[in-house]
């Protein structure tokens, strides 16, 4: 049996020296030292040995096992070191190479215009008020002098969740909520930016969702001339100091009198071009003096205070400011279009 153990040791050590892969090393470990391995098979014959021979053969078996395990451990370390060296060689990063330049983002043109509008009016002493996009019929229509079945509601057909809950068609409800929150106190000077929704078909100038900014001023002796002066100041800061405005009579249920506001065409300076269809003017917003009934529903006495309001679409302002011909460009996320505004 001693000779068998010696032969096993020689065979195992010779086989291990040829190994250069971890999987093959594991296979040889099982072959020689496993529960059904070669060493175990030899040791099963110890039952036929005398009492004097068993300790001697046991010691030889332990020496063989130790010799095989020593080589296995050495080969395992060699294989691991070789793998480490390979990975270091193949996965080396040259830190002296210049880094890859990632494309820089920019503020979306709609957000940029919204921020400009807010900055202008904050500079004029206004504060910013916000309200829910999911609104009640009362705040969206009735409190704005648009009772149920009023024909003017057809111009603002929207998305209803229930008969009394809807997606707001304008940010005007925020104005009513602001007046109620002030509980009859004056002055009020707020702008109300946010998303609004109307059941429109998408085309070059319409969208079922768009962004709006509305303004409200309430106080004593507020006049139409104050409104015109405010809007002129806004237009000149937004489109250039030589910009002029004109007011054309119009109708809105929540203001009386009401007007549409035009600015001189930024492209031709008012001389007439394709953009303004030869008129020299471009429409930008609607406005007017707050209707007495709206003041009453906001908690104010129209005999004591007056006010003015205005509203504009942010997309409309952006179209005119940048000379864009299709509102859908703002929503298609085409980086070729959006990257133009990174330098503005």
164 carries a ligand binding annotation:
no
Nearest alpha carbon to residue 148 among 253, 31, 74, 12: 253
Q: Is the dihedral of CA 121, 122, 127, 130 positive or negative?
A: positive
Q: Which residues pair with 212 in a beta bridge?
A: 194, 313
Nearest-angstrom CA–CA distance, 47 and 40:
13
- Cα–Cα distance for residue pair 40/44, rounded to 1 Å: 6
> Residue 171 half-sphere exposure, CB side, CA atoms within 13 Å?
25
Locate all alpha helices (DSSP H) within 93-183, ordered by sequence: 109-123, 137-140, 172-182
Q: Strands 188-197 and 127-128, how do they pair?
A: parallel
Reply yes or no: is the peptide bond before residue 31 cis, omega within 30 of 0: no
280: alpha, beta or left? (left if phi > 0; alpha if psi -120 to 50): left
E runs forming strands in the chain: 127-128, 134-136, 165-167, 188-197, 209-219, 245-252, 255-264, 281-290, 306-313
DSSP per residue over 3-48, as a string?
Answer: HHHHHHHHHHHHHHHT--SHHHHHHHHHHHHSTTSHHHHHHGGGGG
For the chain, the residue count is 344
Q: Are strands 209-219 and 245-252 parallel, antiparallel or unpaired?
A: unpaired
What residues are designated binding site? 256
What residues form the annotated binding site for Mg(2+)? 256
């Amino acid at each position: 049996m001693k000779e068998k153990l010696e032969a096993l040791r020689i065979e195992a050590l010779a086989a291990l020296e040829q190994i250069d892969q971890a999987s093959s090393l594991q296979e040889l470990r099982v072959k020689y030292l496993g529960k059904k391995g070669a060493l175990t098979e030899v040791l099963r014959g110890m039952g036929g040995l005398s009492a004097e021979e068993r300790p001697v053969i046991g010691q030889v078996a332990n020496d063989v096992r130790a010799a095989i395990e020593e080589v296995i451990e050495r080969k395992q370390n060699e294989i691991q070191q070789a793998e480490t060296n390979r990975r270091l060689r193949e996965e080396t990063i040259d830190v002296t190479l210049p880094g890859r330049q990632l494309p820089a983002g920019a503020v979306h043109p709609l957000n940029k215009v919204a921020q400009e509008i807010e900055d202008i009016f904050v500079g004029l002493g206004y504060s910013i008020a916000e309200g829910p996009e999911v609104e009640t019929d009362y705040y969206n229509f009735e409190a704005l002098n648009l009772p149920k079945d009023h024909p003017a509601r057809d111009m603002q057909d929207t998305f209803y969740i229930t008969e009394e809950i809807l997606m707001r068609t304008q940010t005007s409800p925020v104005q009513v909520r602001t007046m109620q929150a002030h509980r009859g106190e004056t002055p009020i000077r707020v702008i109300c930016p946010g998303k609004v929704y109307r059941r429109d078909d998408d085309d070059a100038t319409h969208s079922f969702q768009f962004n709006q900014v509305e303004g409200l001023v309430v106080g004593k002796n507020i006049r139409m001339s104050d409104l015109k002066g405010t809007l002129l100041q806004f237009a000149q800061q937004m489109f250039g100091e030589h910009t002029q405005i004109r007011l054309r009579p119009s109708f809105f249920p929540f203001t009386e009198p009401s007007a549409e506001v035009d600015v001189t065409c930024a492209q031709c300076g008012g001389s007439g071009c394709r953009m303004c269809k030869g008129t020299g003017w471009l429409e930008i917003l609607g406005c007017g003096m707050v209707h007495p009934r709206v003041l009453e529903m906001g908690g104010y006495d129209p005999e004591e205070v007056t006010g003015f309001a205005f509203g504009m679409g942010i997309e409309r302002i952006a179209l005119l400011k940048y000379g864009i011909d299709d509102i859908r460009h703002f929503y298609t996320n085409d980086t070729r279009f959006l990257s133009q505004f990174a330098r503005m």
